[in-house]
A and B are shown apart, each in its own frame.
Chain A
Amino acid sequence: MSVPSTTSRPVAANSVWPRLEPLLPQVTKPIQYVGGELGAVVKEWDAATVRWALMYPDAYEVGLPNQGVQILYEVLNELPDTLAERTYAVWPDLEKLMRAHGVPQFTVDAHRPVRDFDLFGVSFATELGYTNLLSAIDLAGIPLLAADRTDADPVIVAGGHAAFNPEPIADFVDAAVLGDGEEAVLEITGIVREWKAEGCPGGRDELLLRLARTESVYVPRFYDVDYLPDGRIQRVVPNRADVPFRVHKRTTMDLDAWPYPKKPLVPLAETVHERYAVEIFRGCTRGCRFCQAGMITRPVRERSITTVGQMVQQGLEFSGFHEVGLLSLSSADHSEIGDMCSGLAEQYQGTNVSLSLPSTRVDAFNIELAQELSRNGRRTGLTFAPEGGSERIRKVINKMVSKDDLIRTVVTAYTNGWRQVKLYFMCGLPTETDADVLEIADMAHEVIRAGRAATGSKDIRCTVSIGGFVPKPHTPFQWAAMQRPEVIDHRLKLLKQAINADRSLGRAIGYRYHDGEPSLIEGLLSRGDRRVGAVIRRVWENGGRFDGWSEHFSYQRWVDAAAEVLPGFGVDLDWYTTRERDELEVLPWDHLDSGLDKDWLWQDWQDALGEYEQDDCRWTPCFDCGVCPAMDTEIQIGPTGRKLLPLTPVNGMKLSAGAQ
């Protein structure tokens, strides 16, 4: 059943709504396709010169809360002559109906066909969204291969962390942007605006050339990849004059000048995060060697305590959210985190607003902060991430936490009233043995034993959560061999047995793990080159969708596609995943500049193998990773010495009205 057309809803001229609406009653959670959220913007099509469709290539429930898309959506829509609308991956039930009824990929804002836009920006937090990219391009009626597109098609731009190696999707995207998006989308918008004002000289090719000449937009078609007889890359070189040999990442400095999101989207359907999220800083120099985010987002740039306070106040007033997330890669490291937490806790005491801090730092300070944040009576969970089970492996990954630190910290949490903590680890790390993983069980046992002794209670628990390690580009582990899924799964099984070897302690320990198979495929995609594009395409043609969802992911489909396609290139799945690279191998992303000096990365890889640790440059002298001089950036941290003032009574009143 559907809605009679007597009900009024403003319908844009090029809207697919009249054709989409009758399909919605036949699909699950139709509300995710309806749009009209608080914070959504619909502009006149004809009044805009430059039009962006922005996509997070996963379902609405995962994609809507994405910070990156929300920020760019707002930044672009603030321009008077620019419009930005959002599109998300549609579930297979709707995809089938859209194909049967000829409804193209649409935006949720004004239900316009994605193909009508000038630019189609796709943000990849994970490589597992690649098959959904292909679905969206194909549903939009855009040729799958960038080479087949015409002036009638939008320019497809990839962004997000996975765009630091866009080679596996190089055949499908027209361009990729590395690094922070705020200024990049404005620059791209400017180039498109100018090119259109000139009457689109030289068509699509000229536009892409202009983008490439910025040296910060990568246009794969202007680069040729040559291979050696053994399958390794010989070189990647520009095939056009004027195109830079290397493309550099973007870095947005002075986050106080970019206080987004100001008007956060309030989802209509249930989503994975329903909160006002504010980034309190970007970048991280803790130097965990597995962490791509920490490597590619340097240097650390803090948002000041007062800007954070103002953003929280305005964001809550606009949205009515009850929860605030203070996000970053390691939030407890903000130079004014103590004052920030106590100031916000003070301001929102007695309201229904709860504050949360992703807590992974293993020290007592973290618990102090958590206590401040739980003043309203709601205790958020405490998560500590030692990442590695043994002292030795923690030196390899540069996670400087001792076993004693961990036990002490967790016991402090128990004695302060927490009944449950979560411990996060990885399996399959370079040089790892069974013994390294089994030490996790000892650690968990000791945590429970010490916790029981300190609290005199048996009512304490911990959860061991363990994920598979995936080596990522632009990290010291980019050369590392992955461990085979069978080995990972065997170690996870041994660990489970070891945890439960002591029944009394084992009962208090929860155990969550991920199978090794999806990690291996993530590894193929993260360090893949252009030849992997053929695998992605084959998987997609065979029905691969939503690979980030265990119920949709098929390992076999990926293995089969790799076996079908890769031998033609003289390589295979193992070649990409379980093979260690040597120092001189040309890596597929070497022409993409994250600022990190490759020699430094290699040295850090050697230090990892030698179990040497590396300090944080915020507190010790520069260790020459290369980012600041290469990118002309600097560390931006406080303290500013300012404090958060109590909200004035007027604001307090407004707050209570807004905090619905």
Chain B
Amino acid sequence: MAFSQGFTPHPKISYASAAPTGVASEAEYLEIGLREPVDPEQLRLALDAALSPGLDVLDAVVASGASLPDRIEASRWRIELPQVDPDVLAKAVAVFTAADEVLVERMTKQGRRTFDARAAVVNIDVSPASATPSGDPAVPCAILELVVRQVTPSVRPDDVLSGFRVVAGLEPPVAPKVIRLAQGTLTAQGAIVDPLDADRDGATIGGR
């Protein structure tokens, strides 16, 4: 592990667009500086062993070229809204998508900020009603997947949900469940490409 210089050296770790607290994620990325070259697979195993159950290190590559933040242009999220009728959600999404701008508010470290939650959203898909992956099948559950561009200030899934409330009055009766499915560079077709691909030379190092 490499450390910064100075009076209180810090380990060289930088996190790119970490998921908000309380949100699950299948795709977090971070960059670490090492003092000497290490086999990426050995590093992956060592980190995985030290981390809590449920925090799995899936892959490690030697970084070259563009920095990690430059390779993270967008995220794909899935949001489950228990007790929300999928048709109601579909209508809210339609209104939201049709708008040019949807202003929402959120408390940030700099205080309360108002910003547009619409422009960063590349795509929203509402799943058909039957596809309930978790919870009681008797209770309706609306599910959507959305692709959101990495912007400043960042637009998070809860901001998009705030947007639904602003434009369509959608108020989920229970806490939504959110998971980040992927992060990476955005293709013209709106697909997300794994940011580590560029350093893989086509060969998979970790067992992804």
Contact = CB atoms under 8 A, between A and B. Distances in A.
Nearest to A3: B24
A659 B21 CA distance: 28
Contacts of B21: 25, 30-31
A24 B178 CA distance: 14
Contact of B8 (A7, A268, A378): A378
A352 B3 contact: yes
A6 interface: yes
Interface in B33-72: 35, 46, 50-55
Interface in A1-47: 1-10, 22, 24-26, 30-31, 34-38
B134 A4 contact: yes
B175 A8 contact: no
A656 interface: yes
A578 B124 CA distance: 70
B53 A2 contact: no
Given A3-B177, A378-B7, A378-B8, A36 B53 contact: yes
A37 B177 CA distance: 24
Q: Which of B1, B52, B176 has the most CB of A within 10 A?
A: B52
B135 interface: yes
A150 B64 CA distance: 65
B184 interface: no
B7 A1 contact: no
Interface string A264-280: 00101000000000000
Contacts of B55: 36
A38 B50 contact: yes
B133 interface: yes
A5 B11 contact: no
Q: How large is the interface on B (under 10, 10 to 19, 20 to 34, 35 or more residues)?
A: 20 to 34
Given A2-B177, A352-B3, A660-B1, A8 B54 contact: yes
Contact of A3 (B3, B23, B52): B23
A528 B80 CA distance: 55
B157 interface: yes
A257 interface: no
A660 B176 CA distance: 36
Interface string A138-169: 00000000000000000000000000000000
B179 interface: yes
Contacts of A1: 22-23, 157-158, 175-178
Contacts of B80: 4
Nearest to B176: A1
Contacts of B24: 3-4, 7
A4 B21 CA distance: 14
Nearest to A319: B50
B9 interface: yes
Nearest to A21: B22
Nearest to A351: B3
Given A1-B157, A22-B175, A24-B22, A268 B133 contact: no
A4 B54 contact: no
B46 A4 contact: no
A25 B175 contact: yes
B175 A2 contact: yes
B11 A4 contact: no
Nearest to B156: A1
A266 B26 CA distance: 24
A26 B11 CA distance: 31
Contacts of A266: 50
Contact of A5 (B9, B22, B134): B134
A320 interface: yes
Q: Which of A4, A22, A37, A268 has the most CB of B within 10 A?
A: A4
Contacts of A268: 52
Smallest CB-CB A-B distances: 10 pairs: A36-B52, A25-B22, A3-B24, A660-B1, A4-B177, A5-B134, A9-B54, A1-B178, A1-B176, A7-B24
Given A7-B26, A36-B52, A38-B50, 5 more contacts: A1-B22, A2-B177, A5-B135, A6-B134, A38-B52
